[in-house]
Amino acid sequence: MLLRYFYDPRLAHASYLVGCQATGEAIVVDPGRDIEPYLDVAEAEELRIVAAVETHIHADFLSGARELAERVGAHLFLSDEGDENWKYTFAPKYEHTLLKDGDTFKVGNIKFEVMHTPGHTPEHISLLLTDTAGASEPMGIFTGDFVFVGSIGRPDLLEKAAGISGTAEAGARQMFRSVERFKQLPDYLQVWPAHGAGSACGKGLGAIPSSTVGYEKLFNPGLRFDDEEEFVRWLLADQPEPPRYFAVMKRLNKEDRPVLHALPQPEHLPVDRLKALLDAGALVVDTRPATAFAVAHVPGTINIPFDNSFTTWAGWFLPYDRDFYLIADETRVPDVVRALVSIGLDRVAGFFCPSAVDQWMALGQPVQKYEVALPQEIAERVLRGDVTLLDVRGEAERHEDGTIPGAHHIMLGYLPERVTELPAEKPVVVHCRTGHRSAIAASILQAHGVERVINLLGGFRDWERAGLPVERDGHRRA
C-alpha cells in the first residue's frame, strides 16, 4: 500500500492518495480542485486513480472529485447520510456509490469502512482503512473535519455561514455522540484529518499532519468531556468568524458547477486600461507585499498580499458574480489564479504587472500611500483620543487577548460594508494582532474614501509587549 499526503498551506487543506501497489489502483480522499498533483504522483508511482471519496460537503474549498471523474473516470464515493438538504445533487452525472454508516468498499486490496460522524455537518463520514493484503484490522482513520490534531470540527458553520438557524447546538450535540464513538476506537489507529493549523473549520488546530487515536484521547481538548452540556458550551464558545465564501462553497460542492479542465489564463493588460476599469467600478486586487503597497498604490485598489492567508481573504472580499482584476508579478500569476480557483473564484479577467504602479505615476495619475507607526510612536495620540483606533481582529481574539482602550471593533471581513460607522474627522489607526490583517484593512479603508490611515506595526502583540495600556474583562492595566 502507498499513502501519500498533500497539503495546501493557503487553505490548510490536507488530502490523501491511497494506492494498492498490487493492483495498480488508487483513490484520492478529499481531493482539492487542482488535481494535477494527484495525477503526477499516480503516474510516478505507476498507479491509476480509479476513485475519489469525500468525507463531507466541504465549506472551505471546491472539491476536485468531479475533476477526477471527468479527467480519469474516477468512481465517486459520497455520503448518503443527513437529510435531504445534505445530498450531492450532482452525483447522478457520474459513476458513484452513496455511502451509509457501516458500508465498506475496496480499491484493490485496500478496504474502507464508513463511520458516520455527524456534528461538523449532518452528512459527515469518517473512513477506517485496512490493508487487507497484510492485515485484518484497520491501521488508521480519515477523519475529514471531525477530529483534527489537537481539536475537533466546529458545528456552527451551517448557522453562521450558511444561514441555517438553530443548527449550531444540534450539531454540537451530534458531535458529542460522534466523539464518544471515536473514543471507543483502538488507541493505535493513525488519525489523518483534512485540515491543519490555520483552518477556519475548527479552533486551535495543530500543525502536525497526523496523530493517533490514543494521543488525541490524552491531549485533544475536544475529547476530554464526559458531560454533554459542558461539551456543548465549550465547543460553541469562541469559534472564529467563518469566511463569507463558505456558504458559496457548500452550495457549489453539492450542486452542479463548472468543472475545471485547465487553469484560466488571464490577459496581461496595459496600464492605460487601469483607469477605465476603476472608473467603471471594477475591483482590482494588488497582491504585492503590504510594505510596497503602503509606499505607493493606485487609488481604489485593495491589497491582499499573496501569502498563506491570501485565499481566505480573497474569499471574504472578491465577487463570484462579476469579473475582477489583479496586480501581480507575471511569474506568480498562475499560482495566484490556482489559489483563486481552489475556492471557485474563476472570473479573473486580466492582470497588471507591479510596474503598472510606476507607469501610472509616469502618466501623471495620482497615487495613494498610508502611514505606518510602531506602538511607542503612536501611543500618546491613541490614548489622548486624537485618532480613531480600529481593531480588526476576531471577537474570540479580543476575548482571549484583551483590547486597547477606546478601540472601535469591526472584524476585517465585515469592514467593507461598515466603513461608514467610523468617525470621519480623525485619522484612523488600524490594528490586528501582528499588523498583517490591519494592512489589508488600511487598503480597504482608503479604497472606501478614508484618506488618513495609519497601520499599527506589530499590532496588539507589540503594543502589549511595550507595556502600554490593555483592557481585559473590563479592567484596565498598564
* pLDDT 10s digits, 43-73: 999 999 999 999 999 999 999 999 999 999 9
Residue 399: CB partners within 8 Å, gap ≥ 6?
A: 238
Q: State yes or no: pLDDT of 313 exceeds 70.
A: yes
Q: Which residue has the higher pLDDT, 346 or 163?
A: 346
Considering the domain architecture, whether residues 212 and 353 belong to the same structural domain is answered as no
Mean pLDDT, range 293-322, rounded to an integer: 96
Q: Which three cell numbers stand for residue 264?
A: 484560466
pLDDT band at residue 201 using 50, 70 and 90 as cut-offs: low
pLDDT band at residue 240 using 50, 70 and 90 as cut-offs: confident
pLDDT band at residue 156 using 50, 70 and 90 as cut-offs: confident
Considering the domain architecture, whether residues 356 and 376 belong to the same structural domain is answered as no
- Is 319 a domain residue? yes
Catalytic residues: 432
Considering the domain architecture, whether residues 249 and 163 belong to the same structural domain is answered as yes
- Is 86 a domain residue? yes
Q: Tell me the residue range of the domain where 140 lies.
A: 2-254
- Report the chain's terminal Cα–Cα distance, integer Å: 59
Listed range (1-15, 87-101, 148-162, 196-210) with the worst mean pLDDT:
196-210
Note the pLDDT tens digit of each residue in 393-409.
Answer: 999 999 999 999 999 99
How many domains does the chain contain in total?
Answer: 3
Q: State yes or no: pLDDT of 166 exceeds 80.
A: no
- Is 45 a domain residue? yes
Considering the domain architecture, whether residues 46 and 65 belong to the same structural domain is answered as yes
Considering the domain architecture, whether residues 353 and 378 belong to the same structural domain is answered as no
Q: State yes or no: pLDDT of 472 exceeds 80.
A: yes
- Is 287 a domain residue? yes
Q: Which three cell numbers stand for residue 270?
A: 496595459
Report the CATH number that the domain containing residue 289 is assigned in CATH: 3.40.250.10
Mean pLDDT, range 89-108, rounded to an integer: 98
- Is 250 a domain residue? yes
- Is 62 a domain residue? yes
Mean pLDDT, range 327-356, rounded to an integer: 97
Listed range (121-135, 158-172, 427-441) with the worst mean pLDDT:
158-172
- Is 262 a domain residue? no
pLDDT band at residue 149 using 50, 70 and 90 as cut-offs: very high
Average pLDDT of the chain to the nearest whole number? 95
Amino acid 478: pLDDT: 57
Considering the domain architecture, whether residues 342 and 464 belong to the same structural domain is answered as no
Mean pLDDT, range 93-120, rounded to an integer: 98
